[in-house]
Structure 1
Amino acid sequence: MGKLIDGRWSADGNGSAPTDGAFRRAESTFRNWVTPDGAPGPSGQGGFRAEAGRYHLYVSYACPWAHRTLIFRALKGLTDLIGVSVTHPDLLDDGWTFRTDFPGATGDTLHGTEFLRDIYLRAEPGMTGRVSTPVLWDGKRGTIVSNESAEIIRMFNSAFDHLTGNTDDYWPEDLRAAIEPVNARIYDTVNNGVYKAGFATRQGPYDAAVAALFDSLDWLEDRLSRQRWLMGDRLAEADWRLFPTLVRFDSVYHTHFKCNRRRLIDYENLWDYTRALYQHPGVAATVRLDHIVRHYYFSHESINPHRIIPINPILDFDSPHRRG
């Protein structure tokens, strides 16, 4: 995917698998927080007060991390307060681009730039690091607030409530201690686990990643056989962090990343649960399988060198579910 080095673009491949063959994800660079009054958050600087029209979200529909932020933007009624620009699904030598020759790719509707790296360079002209989605941009200060999806969704969960009147809370204080270990296991073995399997370049790291992935899917299947959502009767952050991986599983991860012990639709409860989340108001519009399939199979030349886009299964996410 390339990266910036001292403000200059280097198309160096994904650079993700070192000599031991194991995939390691790079840390996010910008870690500020939008807060109701602009006070500093848990990291970074203060001065990012929640205001209508001030912030802009840069995403790829293909990226599961960006998908989280689109979901929370929809759930929390932020679509009129926070604008969105959508990249082209192809991630090639120039990284994420704002080409518009694919349905749903909007271009940079805020600045009219050509590449996502241009947004990073506006914030830090001499930057060294990866250029990833999502990006939350502050139009008032002319900088990036955050490119860490796990933190952006927590901002969206509560920082704008006084503006929207939407007080739905997916990270309630009484569930936080229970949510954190669930999030941690899902991130390590499922959200990132599919990447650890798919980008492994040696057998050992692949075997370890795929075994942990299916152990966790079995654990989730059992958990969901006994309760409506991951944390019981209340939809929580953990559910929305898991969903982007599940909705991509059979179309991409099962085949492209060789996570093929079982399909999502082979899990009675996980498949039912995924459909229930997909049908939650506002969520279906955040899912673009055309972007997802195109991105993975076309962008990862080392995995799919001929860039053949598979026919893929027909999945009916709108079929009835049993979760009320």
Structure 2
Amino acid sequence: MANGEFQRDQRYVSTRVTADGRDGYPVEPGRYRLIVSRACPWANRSIIVRRLLGLEDVLSMGVAGPTHDERSWRFDLDPDGKDPVLDIERLQEAFFARYPGYDRGITVPAIVDIPTGEVVTNDFEQITIDLALEWTKYHRDGAPALYPLELRDRIDEINGFVYQDVNNGVYRAGFAKSQEAYEEAYHRLFDRLDMLSGLLARQRYLAGGMITEADVRLFTTLVRFDAVYHGHFKCNRSKLSEMPVLWSYARDLFQTPGFGDTIDFVDIKRHYYLVHSDINPSGIVPAGPDLSGWLTEHGRERLGGSPFGDGTPPAPPKEPVPAGHGAR
């Protein structure tokens, strides 16, 4: 470990919403609220998975604004600055309702029990797995198998190194406190992206011929790369748009229903450039980059496969990104 390396706090509320209710929180339609910010890559995963599986009508979603302070995410996009279902101004209130004085990270995504107003979990990795495996009774017809048993070992392997070197790797570069720590994270990131480029030159998706949980996890980092990580986090060997295979792969996913229609580039940029005042003390939010390339032809159909396997695309979004906030 390099001196000055960024260390992510991975202490989460780990109770789960499961089909059998073994932690005291059984899957029930309408009982829980998924709290997200469209700015956050970890929360973006759960937005995508919820949409791909068609869970919008059974698991409601509250959207916090793109900025937060030491007291947590705020519902400043809602009328009167309160979540309309939970009647709270900050996500912190749901954590304090269950754990008074909670002193760990108050993060999104989080699932809140509506009747009690208490947080159930903010374990972002487990949330999407449980949506795929525990909420199957309420999946839409044609929902994809995002974590199929026959691919699970491979998905877990990919998720492991993608998290270490890419998802968290950009943060390890951006928040490094020494040149040594920064350069170690930088080289690990681009070595891994080069490895992934080699893999994705041969197959359409990370685990084979259909979209899985692994693609969701990589996508939410790639889609923020040129807008944020390349400059803000000094991950500047190459832009995503300068890495041909990964750029076409990311566009393929972006143009797939359930992916690009969840992306709010305005909130993404506001979050990173306003919240990280130690990195960007001026608080100036960049006007670029040009986003029109996200909608250009990707050509990856030639690799075969089917995005949803034997399933079908989700219907148009019921909670669309605000006009002017997506690619155009």
Same fold (TM over 0.5): yes
User: 1:134-173 alignment to 2 at 5 Å?
Assistant: 134-140=109-115, 142-166=117-141, 167-173=143-149
1:150 deviates by 0.8
**Counterpart position of 1:23:** 6
Matched, 1:318 2:318: no
> 1:49-105: CA deviations, max 9, x gaps?
211111101111111000100000100001111111111212234432122389xx9
**Counterpart position of 1:252:** 228
Q: TM-score, normalised to structure 1's length?
A: 0.87
Query: 2:50, 2:61 → 1: CA distance?
Result: 10
**Counterpart position of 2:274:** 298
**Counterpart position of 1:285:** 261
Q: Secondary structure at the match of 1:210?
A: helix
1:207 deviates by 0.4
Alpha carbons of 1:219 and 1:287: their partners in 2 closer, same or farther (altered >3 Å)?
same
**Counterpart position of 1:271:** 247
**Counterpart position of 2:172:** 196
Query: 1:169, 1:106 → 2: CA distance?
Result: 37
Alpha carbons of 1:88 and 1:178: their partners in 2 closer, same or farther (altered >3 Å)?
same
Between stretches 250-259 and 115-124, larger displacement belongs to 115-124
Aligned partners of 1:120 and 1:131 also within 8 Å: yes
User: 1:1-324 alignment to 2 at 5 Å?
Assistant: 20-38=3-21, 40=22, 46-100=23-77, 107-140=82-115, 142-166=117-141, 167-316=143-292, 317-324=294-301
Query: 1:315, 1:164 → 2: CA distance?
Result: 32
Aligned partners of 1:85 and 1:107 also within 8 Å: no
Between stretches 276-285 and 245-254, larger displacement belongs to 276-285
Query: 1:90, 1:36 → 2: CA distance?
Result: 34
Structure 2: tracts of 5 or more residues without a match: 302-328
Alpha carbons of 1:237 and 1:228: their partners in 2 closer, same or farther (altered >3 Å)?
same
Residue 95 of structure 2 aligns with an amino acid whose one-letter code is Y
1:214 deviates by 0.2
Aligned partners of 2:78 and 2:84 also within 8 Å: no
Query: 1:108, 1:266 → 2: CA distance?
Result: 40
Residue 312 of structure 1 aligns with an amino acid whose one-letter code is G
> 1:231-261: CA deviations, max 9, x gaps?
1112111111100000000000000000000
Query: 2:78, 2:24 → 1: CA distance?
Result: 37
Runs of 4+ in 1 over 6 A off after TM superposition: none
Q: How many residues align?
A: 299
Q: TM-score, normalised to structure 2's length?
A: 0.86
1:185 deviates by 0.6
Residue 121 of structure 1 aligns with an amino acid whose one-letter code is F
Residue 42 of structure 2 aligns with an amino acid whose one-letter code is W
Query: 2:59, 2:99 → 1: CA distance?
Result: 22
- The structure whose RCO (Cα within 8 Å, separation 6+) is larger is 2
Aligned partners of 2:65 and 2:76 also within 8 Å: yes
Query: 1:109, 1:118 → 2: CA distance?
Result: 14
Residue 16 of structure 2 aligns with an amino acid whose one-letter code is W
Identity %: 40
Aligned partners of 2:63 and 2:77 also within 8 Å: no
Alpha carbons of 1:93 and 1:127: their partners in 2 closer, same or farther (altered >3 Å)?
closer
Structure 1: tracts of 5 or more residues without a match: 1-18, 41-45
RMSD: 2.0
Aligned partners of 2:44 and 2:262 also within 8 Å: yes
Alpha carbons of 1:49 and 1:144: their partners in 2 closer, same or farther (altered >3 Å)?
same
1:297 deviates by 0.6
